[in-house]
């Protein structure tokens, strides 16, 4: 679980909602969780960040009031690392 403090000093916990991700991929065969991960740096879109927010159990508009867009993306990335979907610095080999 990832913990972040918002602009007002309130601490929030974040984790990926795997059930939401699976349901979203099943609902929309064109949606790919991993494609969102690949494309966020090359083709940033608010709809992608909206899905990221929802994948963490938050509504995008509410989350964007307390964290910047860049913070939301960073939190999502940390959640992906926490779940093993992205490598962490500790995964690097010498």
Helix then strand then coil, % of the chain, to nearest 5: 55, 10, 35
Nearest-angstrom CA–CA distance, 79 and 15: 6
Q: What is the mean pLDDT of each run of 10 residues along the chain (94 residues)?
A: 94 96 94 85 87 94 94 93 79 50
What pLDDT does residue 91 have? 54
Residues in contact with 44: Cβ distance below 8 Å, sequence separation at least 6, in sequence order: 73
Residue 94 has a pLDDT of 45
Say whether pTM exceeds 0.75: yes
Are 72 and 53 in contact, with CB atoms under 8 Å apart? Answer: yes
């Amino acid at each position: 679980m990832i913990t972040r403090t918002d602009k007002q000093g309130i601490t929030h916990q974040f984790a990926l909602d795997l059930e939401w991700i699976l349901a979203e991929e099943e609902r929309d065969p064109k949606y790919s969780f991993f494609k969102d991960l690949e494309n966020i740096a090359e083709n940033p879109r608010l709809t992608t960040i909206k899905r990221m927010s929802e994948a963490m159990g938050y509504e995008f508009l509410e989350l964007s009031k307390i964290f910047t867009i860049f913070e939301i993306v960073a939190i999502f990335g940390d959640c992906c690392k926490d779940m093993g979907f992205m490598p962490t610095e500790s995964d690097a080999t010498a």
